[in-house]
Amino acid sequence: MKHVIRILLGIAICVMAYLCVMSVVTPIKFEDTRSQREPAVIANLVDIRTAAVEFRAQTGHYTESMDSLLNFVRTGTKKEVLKEGALTDKQLEAGMTEHKAVKIINKAKEKVKKMTFANDDELYAYIWENDKDIKKESLQGFRRDTIATPLLQSLYKGKYDAQSIGKIAFIPYTDGKQYILQANNTYTNKSGVVPLFQASAPFELYLGDLNEQELANLIDKETKLGHYPGLKVGSIEEPNNNAGNWE
């Protein structure tokens, strides 16, 4: 009988030791995995925010449709100023400004509008070489043009193409779940109507395959603190400059 009791005690000790170890290891493993996953989730949220802010800048409102947002980025353009050359300290001290320089350049372009050039580079080369006002003010090489740049290039600097941009809609580690896109285009404060936007990824989606109890504890903790239980940018409740809740 004593022998059996010793065996049972040994088993109980092993079980207790295992449970003690797991009580320490499980939370650590959960947090390690969370810290490994969240940078990828955040990266997409930042890129979604970039697209959403530009969408509002051009349309006056936000969209709740991820398809509409992606189509906007794939097909849209943004007006940008192509800058070439810069005014010297001597020119600035003499009273030359960007505005004055642009007026001189535009006047020179107007003088030769009836002439035919293969492209804008050829046009500028000609006026830089031949226009007396440009020469007088030493503006050779100075150029300012407003051009329409594809949004994929303007916003993401070649990071995505028309096909790969679609991946920002999906939360990593979720087997195809999309970010939750929300808009409040009727929010009003003292400044008037202020459209609001939010994109979010709940913990339960990108951490749903991890320890259930640790996940439940995390969600409960953040909820009790009044925090969103996950990662998000923006807010549809009040303006926050479209900040991320990790920033």
Q: Regarding predicted confidence, which is higher, 186 or 5?
A: 186
pLDDT at 11: 52
pTM, rounded to two decimals: 0.78
Residue 43, sorted as left (phi over 0), alpha (psi -120 to 50) or beta, turns out to be: alpha
pLDDT at 5: 54
Band (54; pLDDT cuts 50, 70, 90): very high
pLDDT at 82: 87
- Mean pLDDT, the chain, whole residue set: 90
Residues comprising the chain, all counted? 247
One-letter identity of residue 98: E
Residue 28 has pLDDT above 60, yes or no: yes
Tell me what percent of the residues of the chain surpass a pLDDT of 70: 90
**Domain range list for the chain:** 36-75+157-247, 86-141
Average pLDDT over residues 26-35: 90
pLDDT at 16: 53
Tell me what percent of the residues of the chain surpass a pLDDT of 90: 83
How far does CA 141 lie from the centroid of its chain? 34
Residue written as token pair 């990266």: 43
Among 16-30, 195-209, 229-243, which is the least confidently predicted range? 16-30
Residue 95 has pLDDT above 90, yes or no: yes
Task: State the Cα–Cα distance between residues 50 and 54, nearest whole angstrom.
Answer: 6
Measuring CA to CA, how many Å separate 159 from each of 153, 156, 164, 231, 245? 8, 5, 9, 23, 24
Average pLDDT over residues 164-191: 95
pLDDT at 56: 97
The H-or-E segment that residue 54 falls in is helix 2-59
Task: State the Cα–Cα distance between residues 14 and 38, nearest whole angstrom.
Answer: 36
Tokens encoding 244: 């991320």
Instruction: Name, in order, each residue with C-beta under 8 angstroms of 149's C-beta and a sequence gap of 6 or more.
Output: 77, 78, 79, 80
Helix intervals (H) in 112-166: 120-130, 132-136, 151-156
Residue 27 has pLDDT above 50, yes or no: yes
How do residues 185-233 score in pLDDT, each as one tens digit?
Answer: 999 998 899 999 999 999 999 999 999 999 999 999 999 999 999 999 9
